[in-house]
């Protein structure tokens, strides 16, 4: 999922890119924003249910008094406002727990529940004299505070005092509540390890856009990232591989003498700290242990969990090729990365793992993977053949179904709910198994009709590891996903009963993500688009409005020193051949209001160079097309150097 076709040849990658370019050009023509003109004064992401702008402004005084109930769950809401308002402004922020006429900001928990708001909704009122946030629950006050911060000038995002800013917020009346309850981001900490501090940083970023679920992908072929007492090799062996930098999936296999010291894991105390940190920010953490496939780190630690002889020679993967995807899914495994469904030791192992995970994570669900399990080693296994005969299993789908059902029983015996990727549907699971639909929305719709709980996280809209612009600027992955396409995500598609849709989620797989800065780059701004899709009413979504707001948030992220992708400004290349076989190059943009300037002479164009107005024909001996986009007199796109040979490869032959 995630990684589907990651190891295909460059030829196939190019085919994906060509198809995406055509699709993106179409998207750019039908869903464009006009970034030219006055920036919107109110730029709340995600878009509230209703917002009314009134006359006047609230001006933040030098001494701010926050009035709030004494409830323990409100401590973090107050602490959030104190930090965010005091650091950049230099104002003194105090807190009182009783009514006082001097309060500038009032946090109020409703005595009588407003059923429209639910547990996460809020009402925000800003007048020239004071600010009031009302909610039924503390989470609603927290989300109201997030919207409030977005109404102050962008300098509010500074990590140090900012002088010369007029600290005012427009007078508004906001009523707001989420469309769906499950608003998630998946963070793959298995492919590349991210420290406890970095996970906290990711949580801090996601709550700004009202996400409430962090899905941690804790295990895979490249690493086992959680301490399990009684199974020390999982972290002594399974958490470490050989450091490789370059194009994941194509690394040269490590030699025996290369040090295996790259990676890491979370102790159980680390996990408790992360769970508490997330809870204080109204975020649940969903743990995932990916089985039976993607289990090489576990097998390298405990070879007896495999069906296959010789597993004792296996090592944690460092990014070398271990699967052949040339025939599609399921892949052909070059070594057996699956736990053995016919081995009772596997179920004892998983009982130990799940017992401890259930104790560490208070969230109702445990995600047990279930995706992309290769079957070619199972087909050769005498143990699997004996299991099939004993249990009356007719094919490998039923073999995996047998495994999933046993794992589900273990999960449920710990008082938790079982969740898996949509492949688990092939095993005829009971309706009590929740499904995360990643292969488009088709399988989520199918699961809902079978009365499974469903979380929509389709590759079509929500895979944040996909390239955001042309492959010449992005880490090579097998497909592309532009911002405008992500914004089309609907977590409750036509054809489903909404009561079975828990919500939606975007997934950041990290095969090609080596550090937290790149994780930020891949998440934002597409994470903003998904946030608006899962929070805002469907009828309130509007691409033009969203992108106008997103541009304001780019400035906020700059000040916050959060990395993001400016890919939405990059030109889109579409190539063809004329009747006389000349290479023709069409340039377009994902958003309107931009000018494209270009050169073929190896120099770097600016706005004094030729402006693109019609399809280009590459000069006979030209080797490189350089392009850049401007909004008026300001360069907004990146300088892109496109080899003419690459364009020629993409052009269909007549």
Q: What angle do CA 1, 463, 5 make, to 5 degrees?
A: 40
Provide the pairing of β-strand 182-188 with 213-217.
parallel
Element (H, E) at 156: none
What does the block give as tokens for 149?
Answer: 């911060």
Task: Please state whether 116 falls in left (phi above 0), alpha (psi between -120 and 50) or beta.
Answer: alpha
Pair 210, 237: CB distance under 8 Å: no
Instruction: Answer for the pair 220, 298: CB distance below 8 angstroms, yes or no.
Output: no
Number of helices (H), then strands (E), belonging to the chain: the values are 18, 28
What stretches of 502-590 show up as alpha helix (H) in DSSP? Answer: 516-523, 526-535, 543-560
Neighbours of 636 (CB within 10 A): 21
Q: Are strands 92-96 and 50-59 parallel, antiparallel or unpaired?
A: unpaired
**Rounded-to-integer distance, Cα 205 and Cα 213, Å:** 12
Residues 290 and 436: beta-carbon distance below 8 Å: no
Q: In 3D, which of 143, 120, 126 has the Cα closest to residue 208?
A: 143
Exposed (0-12), middle (13-18) or buried (19+): which is 71, by Cβ within 10 Å?
Answer: middle
Rounded to whole angstroms, the Cα distance separating 301 from 277 reads 30
Rg of the chain over all Cα atoms, to the nearest angstrom: 26
> DSSP of 128-147, one letter per residue?
SS-EEEEESSHHHHHHHHHH
SS3 of 191-238: the string is CCCCCHHHHHHHHHHHHCCCCCEEEEECEECCEECECCCCCCHHHHCC
Report d(CA 57, CA 45) in Å as an integer.
20
SS3 652: coil
- Chain centroid offset of residue 306 CA: 32
CB 374 within 8 A of CB 323: yes
Cα separation of 531 and 394, whole Å? 43
Q: How many CB atoms lie within 10 A of CB 244?
A: 19
- 3-class DSSP assignment, residue 645: helix
Catalytic site positions: 220, 294, 372
The single residue listed with the structure tokens 């190019």 is 14
Separation of first and last alpha carbons in the chain: 35
């Amino acid at each position: 999922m995630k990684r589907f076709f990651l190891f295909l040849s460059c030829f196939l990658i190019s085919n994906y890119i060509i198809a995406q370019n055509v699709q993106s050009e179409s998207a750019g023509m039908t869903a464009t924003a006009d970034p030219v003109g006055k920036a919107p004064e109110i730029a709340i992401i995600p878009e509230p249910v209703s917002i009314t702008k009134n006359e006047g402004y609230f001006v933040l005084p030098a001494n701010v008094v926050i009035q709030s109930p004494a409830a323990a769950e409100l401590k973090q809401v107050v602490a959030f406002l104190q930090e965010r308002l005091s650091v950049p402004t230099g104002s003194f922020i105090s807190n009182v727990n009783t009514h006082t006429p001097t309060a500038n900001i009032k946090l109020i928990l409703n005595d009588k529940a407003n059923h429209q708001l639910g547990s996460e909704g809020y009402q925000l009122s800003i007048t020239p004299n004071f600010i009031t946030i009302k909610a039924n629950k503390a989470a609603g006050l927290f989300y109201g505070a997030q919207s409030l911060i977005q109404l102050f000038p962008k300098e509010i995002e500074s990590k140090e005092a900012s002088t010369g800013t007029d600290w005012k917020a427009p007078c508004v009346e906001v009523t707001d509540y989420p469309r769906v309850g499950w608003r998630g981001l998946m963070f793959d900490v298995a492919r590349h390890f991210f420290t406890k501090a970095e996970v906290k940083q990711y949580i801090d970023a996601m709550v700004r856009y009202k996400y409430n679920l962090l899905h941690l992908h804790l295990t895979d072929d490249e690493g086992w990232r959680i301490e399990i007492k009684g199974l020390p090799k999982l972290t002594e062996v399974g958490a470490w591989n050989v450091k490789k930098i370059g194009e994941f999936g194509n690394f040269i296999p490590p030699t025996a003498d290369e040090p295996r010291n790259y990676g890491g894991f979370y102790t159980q105390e680390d996990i408790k700290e992360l769970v508490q940190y997330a809870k204080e920010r109204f975020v649940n953490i969903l743990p995932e242990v990916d089985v039976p496939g993607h289990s090489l780190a576990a097998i390298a630690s405990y070879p007896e969990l495999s069906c296959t002889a010789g597993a004792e020679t296996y090592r944690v993967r460092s990014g070398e090729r271990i699967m052949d995807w040339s025939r599609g899914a399921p892949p052909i495994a070059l070594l057996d990365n699956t736990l053995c469904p016919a081995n009772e030791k596997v179920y004892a192992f998983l009982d130990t793992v799940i017992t401890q995970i259930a104790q560490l994570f208070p969230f109702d669900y445990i995600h047990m993977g279930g995706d992309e399990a290769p079957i070619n080693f199972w087909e050769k296994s005498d143990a699997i053949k004996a299991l099939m005969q004993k249990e009356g299993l007719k094919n490998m789908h039923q073999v995996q179904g047998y495994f999933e059902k046993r794992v589900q029983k273990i999960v449920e015996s710990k008082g938790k709910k079982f969740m898996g990727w949509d492949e688990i549907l092939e095993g005829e699971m009971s309706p009590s198994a929740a499904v995360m639909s990643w292969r488009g929305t088709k399988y989520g719709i199918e699961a809902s009709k079978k009365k499974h709980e469903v979380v929509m996280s389709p590759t079509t809209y929500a895979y944040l590891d996909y390239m955001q612009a042309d492959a010449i600027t992005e880490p090579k992955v097998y497909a592309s996903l532009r911002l405008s396409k992500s914004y089309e995500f609907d977590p409750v598609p036509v054809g489903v009963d909404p009561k079975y849709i828990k919500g939606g989620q975007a997934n950041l797989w990290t095969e090609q993500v080596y550090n937290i800065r790149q994780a930020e780059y891949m998440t934002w701004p597409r994470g903003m688009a998904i946030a608006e899709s899962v929070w805002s009413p469907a009828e309130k979504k509007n691409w033009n409005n969203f992108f106008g707001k997103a541009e304001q948030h780019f400035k906020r992220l700059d000040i916050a020193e959060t990395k993001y992708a400016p890919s939405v400004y990059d030109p889109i290349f579409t190539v063809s051949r004329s009747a006389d076989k000349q290479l023709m190059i069409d340039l377009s943009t994902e958003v309107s209001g931009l000018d494209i300037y270009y050169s073929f002479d190896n120099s770097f164009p600016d706005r004094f160079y030729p402006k693109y107005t019609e399809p280009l024909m590459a000069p006979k001996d030209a080797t490189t097309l350089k392009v850049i986009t401007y909004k008026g007199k300001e360069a907004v796109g990146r300088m892109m150097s496109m080899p003419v040979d690459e364009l020629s490869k993409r052009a269909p032959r007549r």
